[in-house]
Chains A and B, each alone.
Chain A
Amino acid sequence: MTSLKWKPVFLVLLICLFSSRISSAATAKEILEKVDDLWRGESSFAEMTMEVVTEHYERSMKLKAWSLGKEHSLFVITYPPKDRGVATLKAEKDIWNYLPRVNRVIRVPTSMMMANWMGSHFTNDDLVKESRMSEDYDAEVTFEGEKDGTSVYEIALLPKPEAPVVWGRIEITVIQETLIPIRSLYYDEDGILSRTMLFDDVKKLGGRLVPATMVLVPEDKPEEKTVITYDSLELGLGLKPEFFSRNTLTRKDLVR
């Protein structure tokens, strides 16, 4: 149940990474498709920090994350010591958790997809859904112009009729020049704003300009948030699909 929350984050990150190659005249659909195309075959490795603030607790975690294309990703917690080594694998449609303390690999059942991951505001479902944005949603540019002194595109994503998605609508604001996102708004099926993701701290990581910080704020609890900060990023590692296997999950050297 732990790993899934990350996928939306990764998707957005990927969008950011590759957005600079897209011409400014691109349509919303083209932007999303190009991002998806660029994703394919690409692999990445990132180190990040996740801070979670809720009504009941605050916690900070450090993670390592590997990804390959749309279908494979792997996360390992390196800090705090209590959770060190807890790893999550998304391979194809399945999600697996490795728990070093009990030395077991557990498949996350569909009934747990909406459970949150590691006490953050991301759900398992976020990870699975992230990789398929352009497949599950119809995109449309709803605004093109200047806002707060920056030229931006606003893209609205509406789920396709049969798409098995949680959101009723997603709105993404992207800087025209760099195609780096500033903000995503997630609306539920009743059209009510459910949560907001803000992107900040654009800097060069892995040779590209990306927003290194992402803040997720649930609308019903505005005092709570989950903040993800990229500490490092490497691209084009040539990882093989075989790397994303249940055997890798249990490797002790992942946390090193």
Chain B
Amino acid sequence: MTLIKMAWRNLWRNSRRTFITIFSMAFGLTMMIVGYALMDGMLNQMVHYATVLGTSHVQVHHPDYLEDHSLYDTINAPGTLLEDISGTGLGSAAPRIFATALVSSGQQSAGGQLWGIDPALENSVTELYKHLETGTWLAPDPMGQIVLGRNLARTLSAGPGDEVVVLTQAADGSLGNALYTVSGTLKSIGEALDRGGVIMHIKNLSDLLVMDSKVHEIAIRLNDPDALDTASSTLNETLDQKTYKVENWKQLFPELAEYLRVSSSSMTIILFIIFAVASLGIVNTQLMSLFERTREVGIMRALGLSPLSVAVLVLFETLFLAMIAAVAGGIAGVLWSLRLESVGWDISWMGGSFAFVGVAFDPHMYATLTPAAVIDSIVVMVIVVLIASLYPLFRAARISPVDAIGRGR
């Protein structure tokens, strides 16, 4: 008890140094928490872009469809399948049809990827409808409207109100051709959609391709995105695996899943390194303060204080520093992170929107603050500080009373 009191008082004998030490530790902790939250936010954004803006969490196809995207590898009873999926209560599902086509406006033509979607269902699965650059999203009824990917719209010099000819090979071998009106254009979403995306009502595309009611894909948005593996296996049990193939976004985007996995573990390592560098300052401060008090420690030892007690005294000083820094830095880090969570961080000055591992980004980062960010950071800080104090601790315990008292004069 006395040692605790002594440790506390010792701290304030040189209050300026103590403040500087606390400040540097607290600042390090703040940066750690904010960095952690930004990293989490970025990873979340990546998953969001990869899933809610197109792929969705889980997809169901004909077993061969993803291999060569053949028009004929279809899901033949989408109605029943949609019912089966909604019966599991896992989330919302929407049907899709795809085809490649020649898209032409005025004198310009380009290759395009046609997406037939049912706006009423699709809007509960993906948030593409929220990512329009110009114009409006598709109406719930098939009205011959299309929404173009950003780069395709530029290639065709087409915008809302313009007419676009779509030319493709229908399922019966005939030349499907029709005229559609652009209702809107998308923001940058991902390379494939940007370059060739032509999104239209599933009924319009089905007519163009002579597909009857067959579809190529059922996209599912899970109510609980974290229960990805459970959901996949539930669907695999529910659906006939000979007729359907169920894949989640981690299987569809293995690079992204791998990147996320590596990121979270590498993040911890990076935080450790950052704080280890900062801890050199702590070692320095502790040693300085110890050298100043060599004579004092010598007298305490002469008065009967054991080497262990001296070590404990220094340890308490360090722990007080760490606790004050944890509270101050923790509060600052949480406040800053919360601000970045609501307002975000505009990084468009770094060069507009960008793509990473094939996923496009808004040039506006949002942090995601999790309890883990705060707890992990504080734990890492305390561990690093304790490790950093080992050497000063050891030095303090080994001070010999005779040498220490003699040296002072």
Contact A107 B109 (CB under 8 A): yes
- With A1-B102, A112-B102 already in contact, the answer to whether A106 and B174 are too (CB < 8 A) is no
Residue of B nearest to A86 (CB): B175
Residue of A nearest to B173 (CB): A119
Q: Which of A95-103, A127-135, A190-198 contacts B (4 or more CB under 8 A)?
A: A95-103
B54 to chain A, nearest CB (A): 23
Interface of B is mostly: strand
Contact B109 A52 (CB under 8 A): no
- With A54-B173, A56-B72 already in contact, the answer to whether A106 and B109 are too (CB < 8 A) is yes
The 8 A CB mask of B152-181 against A (1 = contact, 0 = none) is: 000000000000010101011111011100
A118 to B172, CA, bound (A): 10
Number of cross-chain contacts by CB at 8 Å: 66
The listed residue (A2, A56, A104, A107) touching B175 by CB distance below 8 A is A2
The listed residue (B104, B169, B173, B178) touching A101 by CB distance below 8 A is B178
B97 to chain A, nearest CB (A): 16
Interface presence of B107 (CB below 8 A): yes
A135 to chain B, nearest CB (A): 28
Contact B173 A106 (CB under 8 A): no
A252 to chain B, nearest CB (A): 17
Contact B104 A83 (CB under 8 A): no
Measured between beta carbons, the chain A residues less than 8 angstroms from B72 are 55-56
A116 to B179, CA, bound (A): 21
The 8 A CB mask of B106-127 against A (1 = contact, 0 = none) is: 0101110000000000000000
A115 to B168, CA, bound (A): 10
The 8 A CB mask of A205-248 against B (1 = contact, 0 = none) is: 00000000000000000000000000000000000000000000
| B residues 47-74 in Cβ contact with A at 8 Å | 71-72
- With A56-B72, A112-B111 already in contact, the answer to whether A102 and B169 are too (CB < 8 A) is no
The 8 A CB mask of A19-61 against B (1 = contact, 0 = none) is: 0000000000000000000000000000000001011111100
Can you list 29 A-B pairs with a CB-CB distance of less than 8 A? A54-B173, A55-B72, A56-B171, A56-B173, A57-B171, A57-B172, A80-B174, A83-B174, A86-B177, A99-B165, A99-B167, A99-B175, A102-B165, A102-B179, A106-B102, A107-B107, A108-B109, A109-B110, A111-B111, A112-B102, A115-B102, A115-B169, A116-B169, A118-B173, A118-B174, A118-B175, A119-B169, A119-B172, A119-B175
- List chain B positions with a Cβ less than 8 A from chain A: 71-72, 102, 104, 107, 109-111, 165, 167, 169, 171-175, 177-179
